[in-house]
Chains A and B, each alone.
Chain A
Amino acid sequence: MNFWFAVFRQAGRNLRQTWTSQLMTFLTVSLSVLIFAFFYLIYTNMIGASDRLSDDLRLIVYLEDDPGPEMQEQLRRKINNFDKTEAILFISKAEAYERFAKQLGKDSDILTDMPKDFLPASIEVVPLKSLRGYNQIKLFSEYLATLPGSEKVQYGQEWVERFYYVTRLVTIVVLLSGTLLILTATFMVAYTIRLTIMGRHEELELLKLVGATNNYIRTPFLLEGTIQGFMGSIIGLCALYILFQWISRHFAGPGLLNIFNFSFFPPMVIVCIIFGSIGLCTIGSFTSIQKFLKI
């Protein structure tokens, strides 16, 4: 008979005695882990997607006319004056035409009647990786619009803008559901542990009288919180994984998910969520023990 055997036996008795409220707590913890992890998964995927999008991000400045070599040099200097860039690429009308023709491939014969200069010349500016915030890109594009000969600046404004706001929204939801998780986990666990302590009042008193040490009495309750946190997070994450599989299967193929390249949490994040949940539930049981198990 050693300490841990005694602790596990006692925790088992606790679970058996108040199993209905234990089950409720367990479900609540699972559900809040599920909700939090769901939004967090969306969040990480959006961050991943926005990274990928901004890798491809380039600002295109359409020009009135093909710039001569001197003009190119001047433009290049002006652009770099505002901020350093990854690359600046000049595309003449002819080059634009050839690109377009190439993109059309075997349909390129529809271009035969078109004049070779019907497409405008442009500058492709690839901003520095460090300049990828939404506001910075916007400022940059406003600056580019003031360049001499510039007609219009394009970088998929609407897309970027919408994406930016959705990301912000998801961040808020993640924070809210995270708070929810913290509150439910700690309060529900604290509540059930309190119930258990009340229900076992007589036995706890007796244990003290026959000389049970504080650890002997308290550890089973702490362990109970730990088990709740562990089981709750495992089940919550499993449910999320099943949901994730279902979504990937049903929305597979070209479309939104491909841009997102929807992927599940890396192992590190899973471990963090599990330990976070365990920590919170243990804290919950600890507060109850401190309050209701005076020794």
Chain B
Amino acid sequence: MSRPVPTQDPVETKKLPGNTMIEMIKVSRTYVPDITALSDISFAVDTGELFFLIGRSGAGKTTLLKLICNMDTPSKGLIEVAGHNINNLKGNKLAHLRQKIGVAYQDFKLLSDRTVAENIAIAMEVSYKKASAIRLRVRDLLDQLQLADKHDTLTGDLSRGEQQRVALARSVANSPRLILVDEPTGNLDATTTERVMELLNRSNKAGATIVIATHDASIYKDGNHRVMELRNGKIHSLSRNSR
């Protein structure tokens, strides 16, 4: 895998102050031939913060989340997550950091030939959690998301709204320190949306830093958190909701 060479001095991976979870400095991402998905993004997310990322379709929200979890690499700029320059991480160090980051992808990335329970368990299996602990946790999450009766259903047979919740359950299952959620409520009704937000709020209270990318104004308009709006790959506004 060839990575773009970071513009920063690669030796510089010193810890950020303990209360910053994500820091981006002048990050750009361009796709060949000349699509600029993100340009010159600089911002920071504190540890324990619930952070919203909004913007129209194509604004670059998904791209930004992919950069944070190192699914994609920036064309320019520096990204630090939990004090690690994430683009210099390789091998087991990267794997261990990823175990601490839960991601609910916009396209879910569920294994359609495995059951709901197996899909959620994957996130915990890779960090060698006890089988009994995994079972308990999976049951608990499915209860919270009103999917208890889907425990043994293949995810390929679920509705999109159900798949979305399974993806969310997988992202929080391993109790990660950072949770990235892309469009968590796109296919859900109001009540289910509330359930999902309850689950995320609970994880947030337990100490997880959460970044949610969404179009859904209903989930970010209440509460005292920061909302960053992207427009055409640039930061349009970054403000704190004041109820």
Chain A contacts to B: CB under 8 angstroms: 1-3, 6, 202-203, 205-214, 216, 294-295
With A1-B134, A207-B122 as given contacts, are A213 and B92 in contact (CB-CB < 8 Å)?
A: yes
B231 within 8 A of A: no
- With known contacts A1-B128, A211-B127, A206–B122 Cβ distance under 8 A: yes
Are B134's CB and A211's CB within 8 A?
A: no
Nearest to A9 among chain B residues (CB) is: B125
Instruction: Determine whether the beta carbon of B128 is less than 8 Å from that of A6.
Output: yes
C-alpha gap A295/B174 in the complex (Å): 22
On chain A, the residues within 8 Å of B123 by CB distance are 210
Q: Counting CB contacts under 8 A, is B86 at the interface? A: no
Residues of B within 8 A of A206 (CB): 109, 111, 122
Given the complex, which residues of B lie within 8 Å of A209, measured CB to CB?
69, 71, 98, 103, 109
- For residue B59, CB closer than 8 A to chain A, the reply is no
The residue in B69, B96, B125 that gathers the most chain A C-beta atoms within 10 A of its C-beta is B125
Point out the residue from B1, B122, B131 that lies within 8 Å of A1, measured CB to CB.
B131
Question: B1 and A210: CB pair below 8 A?
Answer: no
Closest 4 A/B residue pairs (Cβ): A211-B98, A211-B99, A212-B126, A213-B95
CB-defined contacts of A6 to chain B, threshold 8 Å: 125-126, 128
Q: Which residues from chain B contact A205 at a C-beta distance below 8 Å?
A: 109
Minimal Cβ-Cβ distance residue in B for A294: B1
Give the distance to chain B from A2, nearest Cβ to Cβ, in Å.
6
Closest chain A CB from B101 CB (angstroms): 7
B130 proximal to A (CB < 8 A) = yes
Interchain CA distance A208-B101 in the complex, whole Å: 12
27 contacts between A and B (CB under 8 A): A1-B128, A1-B134, A2-B128, A3-B128, A202-B111, A203-B111, A205-B109, A206-B109, A206-B111, A206-B122, A207-B126, A208-B95, A208-B98, A210-B98, A210-B99, A210-B126, A210-B174, A211-B95, A211-B100, A211-B126, A212-B95, A213-B91, A213-B96, A213-B126, A214-B95, A216-B126, A294-B1
Task: Please list the residues of chain B having a beta carbon within 8 angstroms of any beta carbon in chain A.
Answer: 1, 69, 71, 91-92, 95-101, 103, 109, 111, 122-123, 125-131, 134, 170, 174
Q: How far is the CA of A174 from the CA of B99 in the complex (A)?
A: 51
Inside 8 A of A207's CB, which chain B residues have their CB?
122, 126
Which listed residue, A1, A203, A295, touches B129 by the CB 8 Å rule? A1
Task: State A221–B1 Cα separation when bound (angstroms).
Answer: 21
Closest beta carbon of chain A to B87's beta carbon, Å: 15
Of the candidates B122, B129, B134, the one whose C-beta lies within 8 Å of that of A210 is B122
Contact A211 B131 (CB under 8 A): no
Q: What separation, in Å, do the CA atoms of A2 and B130 have in the docked complex?
A: 8
Q: Closest residue to B103 on the A side, CB-wise?
A: A209
A2 to B100, CA, bound (A): 18
Closest Cβ–Cβ distance, residue B82 to chain A (whole Å): 13
Q: Which residues of A contact B101 (CB under 8 A)?
A: 211
Contacts of B134 in A (CB 8 A): 1
**B126's closest neighbor in chain A, by CB?**
A212
Q: A1-B129, A206-B111 are in contact. Are A211 and B91 (CB under 8 A)?
A: no
Q: What CA separation (Å) do A82 and B103 show in the bound complex? A: 87
Residues of B within 8 A of A203 (CB): 111
With the chains together, A209 CA to B107 CA distance in Å? Answer: 14
Complex Cα–Cα for A181 and B74 (A): 48
CA distance A210 to B98 in the complex (A): 6
Cα-based distance from A259 to B105 in the complex (angstroms): 74
Give CA–CA (A21, B100) in the complex, Å: 37
Q: Chain A residue with minimal CB distance to B109?
A: A206
The complex places the Cα of A210 from the Cα of B173 at a distance, in Å, of 11
Query: Could you tell me the distance between the alpha carbons of A213 and B134 in the complex, rounded to whole angstroms?
Result: 19
**Set of chain B residues within 8 Å of A208, measured between Cβ atoms:** 95, 98
Whole-angstrom CA separation of A1 from B131 in the bound complex: 6
Contact B122 A211 (CB under 8 A): no
Distance between Cα atoms of A282 and B1 in the complex (Å) = 25
